[in-house]
Structure 1
Amino acid sequence: MTDYIAAFTTLFVIIDPIGLTPLFVALTHGASAQLRRKIALRACITAAVILFCFGIFGEALLGFVGISMPAFRIAGGVLLFLTALEMLFQKRQTRRQGHTDDAAEDHIDDPSVFPIAIPLIAGPGAIATMILLTDQAEGIGGFAAVMSVMLSVLLIVFILFLVSNMLERILGRVGVNVVTRILGMLLAALAIQFILDGLRSFGLAP
């Protein structure tokens, strides 16, 4: 149960559904409620397929290119820590907003695949997290638990997308910033734990 909660917390923080909702509003501005539902569903399904594939084949891909899991665990921890710093200093939202601007400049009518599914939901951090979590999972039951965690987080993303206008009005810009910083602190601690686990595999940490 503790591992399940830790996996859920890690993936929830790195995907950051609350931080995604204002961007979803911006990308679907002027769209009807029905079209927003279609975009939200398509984006979440696409992200689920991407994360599922990396969860299954990610470790094999690392082995093919000669990267050990402890090394990837350290690299993933560093990546998550940098993401946490961006969240704490509000740089992540600015970078994500840049993706929305790129989409607008390219006149993309359907933003579900780019930039919502990739890279806003299934970005490098989420992909690295899936590989790390599936590596730590024990047996088929553990793997199924990780996949259920991923689907649970994406279900939350989908629900928040559907109520994004209302949520943004309730929290306001200040509320979103506060929640983002709290999640950033949690992610920083989880990232350090990944790094320590990797160093422990090399005998460099107690």
Structure 2
Amino acid sequence: MEFLVKSFVTLFVVMDPVGLVPVFLALAGHYPPEKQARIARKAVLVAGGLLVFFFFFGRGLLEYLGISFEALKVAGGLLLFKIATEMVFGHHERETEEEAKEALARSDISVFPLAIPLIAGPGALASLLILGAEARGVPFGAVSVLLTAFLVLLLAYLFLRGASVVRRALGRTGVNVVTRVLGILLAALAVQYVADGVKALL
């Protein structure tokens, strides 16, 4: 149960469904509700497929490249800490300025930038690989990680579908507050990842 909760909190904080709302509205807010629903559904399905692929084949890729799990844990922790500081200090942008301009010019924004890198970004992929490795020593650990990934993706879809309602309910300030609280939790988790990885390497 403890590992299940840890997996859920980790993936929820990294994917940040609440933080997706203002980005989604900026990119798809001018579309009719039916098209917004299609965009949200496709984005979540593509992101889910990528996450599942990395969960099953990511460790093999690391072994092929000669990268140890401990090194991944340190790198993943540093990456998550960077994301966390951006969330806390209000610079939570998971795409570059060039990517944002390209996204506005594209008719299909579901794959890029919504699915990649906003939902299934580097932080989410690294977290999934780390959780997948930790799951090996936990009963039903792999099932727990996949279940929590599914739940977080479902929440992301619900937040995207109800983006307008969420924005009206929380307001810009509310979204910012939630994002910063999640950023603090993510920073603590990132430090723990780095500490565990460095300890194992030494």
Same-fold status (TM-score > 0.5): yes
Question: For residues 176 and 96 of structure 1, do their structure 2 counterparts lie closer, same or farther at Cα, with a shift above 3 Å needed?
Answer: farther
1:102 shift after superposition: 2.8
Identity rate of aligned residues, in percent? 44
Residue 118 of structure 2: which of 117, 120, 123 is its match? 120
Q: How many residues of Structure 1 are paired with residues of Structure 2 in the alignment?
A: 200
1:91 shift after superposition: 1.2
> Is residue 40 of structure 1 aligned with residue 40 of structure 2?
yes
Q: In structure 2, what is the equivalent of residue 196 of structure 1?
A: 195
Q: In structure 2, what is the equivalent of residue 184 of structure 1?
A: 183
Contact 2:3 2:144 in 1 (8 A): no
Secondary structure of the residue aligned to 1:167 is helix
1:26 shift after superposition: 1.3
Question: For residues 97 and 169 of structure 1, do their structure 2 counterparts lie closer, same or farther at Cα, with a shift above 3 Å needed?
Answer: farther
Instruction: Tell me the distance in 2 between the aligned counterparts of 1:2 and 1:200.
Output: 22
Q: In structure 2, what is the equivalent of residue 138 of structure 1?
A: 136
Alignment of 1:87-102 (within 5 A): 87-93=87-93, 96=95, 98=97, 99-102=99-102
Residue 111 of structure 1: which of 95, 109, 112 is its match? 109
Q: Deviations over 1:157-182 (max 9, x none)?
A: 00011110010111111111111110
Q: In structure 1, what is the equivalent of residue 63 of structure 2?
A: 63
Instruction: Tell me the distance in 2 between the aligned counterparts of 1:156 and 1:58.
Output: 24
Instruction: Tell me the distance in 2 between the aligned counterparts of 1:103 and 1:201.
Output: 41
Q: In structure 2, what is the equivalent of residue 53 of structure 1?
A: 53
Gap runs ≥5 in structure 2: none
Contact 1:4 1:146 in 2 (8 A): yes
1:138 shift after superposition: 2.4
Q: In structure 1, what is the equivalent of residue 30 of structure 2?
A: 30
> Is residue 73 of structure 1 aligned with residue 68 of structure 2?
no
Q: In structure 1, what is the equivalent of residue 167 of structure 2?
A: 168
Instruction: Tell me the distance in 1 between the aligned counterparts of 2:90 and 2:181.
Output: 12
Instruction: Tell me the distance in 2 between the aligned counterparts of 1:66 and 1:197.
Output: 20
Q: Deviations over 1:13-61 (max 9, x none)?
A: 1111000011111111221111111111100000000011111111111
Q: Which moved more, 1:135-144 or 1:52-61?
A: 135-144
TM-score normalised per structure 1? 0.92
Instruction: Tell me the distance in 2 between the aligned counterparts of 1:40 and 1:103.
Output: 15
Contact 1:26 1:100 in 2 (8 A): no
TM-score normalised per structure 2? 0.94
Instruction: Tell me the distance in 2 between the aligned counterparts of 1:131 and 1:149.
Output: 14
1:68 shift after superposition: 0.4
